[in-house]
């Protein structure tokens, strides 16, 4: 399993158990996220263990965001490490997805 999911206050919190979300792991990530996205309208992705994200990983994140948006839900990211944050800022991902410092911050942002 590349992800570990839990539900807190109706919000699905997914911890990525990967060091890299890239071309080698993105497909599996998307497959495992499919049922979770159907079960939750609001989700938090915890990137605390991810040190590298490439274009495939970025596409997988956007895929999740699109599916939640289509269902009226929302996606927030947290615990993003500096190297990954550099990518997100370069592609201006932070403009369309909230990136919070901690999981608690992400959950609190919906209260």
In the complex, the residues that contact other proteins under the rule CB under 8 A are 20, 22-24, 52, 54-56, 58-60, 62-63, 65-66, 69, 82-83, 86-87, 89-93, 95-96
Instruction: Give 13 or 58: the residue with its C-beta nearer to other proteins.
Output: 58
Rounded to 5 degrees, what are φ and ψ at 96?
-115, -10
Of the chain, the end-to-end C-alpha distance in Å amounts to: 30
Instruction: Give 1 or 90: the residue with its C-beta nearer to other proteins.
Output: 90
Q: Are 45 and 21 in contact (CB under 8 A)?
A: no
Instruction: Give 92 or 111: the residue with its C-beta nearer to other proteins.
Output: 92
């Amino acid at each position: 399993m590349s992800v570990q999911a839990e539900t807190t206050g109706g919000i699905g919190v997914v911890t990525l158990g990967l060091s890299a979300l890239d071309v080698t792991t993105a497909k599996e990530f998307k497959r495992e996220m499919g049922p979770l996205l159907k079960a939750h309208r609001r989700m938090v992705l915890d990137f605390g263990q991810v040190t590298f994200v490439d274009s495939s990983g970025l596409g997988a994140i956007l895929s999740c965001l699109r599916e939640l948006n289509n269902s009226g839900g929302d996606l927030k990211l947290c615990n993003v490490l500096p190297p990954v944050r550099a990518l997100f800022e370069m592609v201006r991902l932070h403009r369309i997805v909230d990136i919070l410092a901690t999981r608690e911050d992400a959950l609190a942002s919906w209260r």
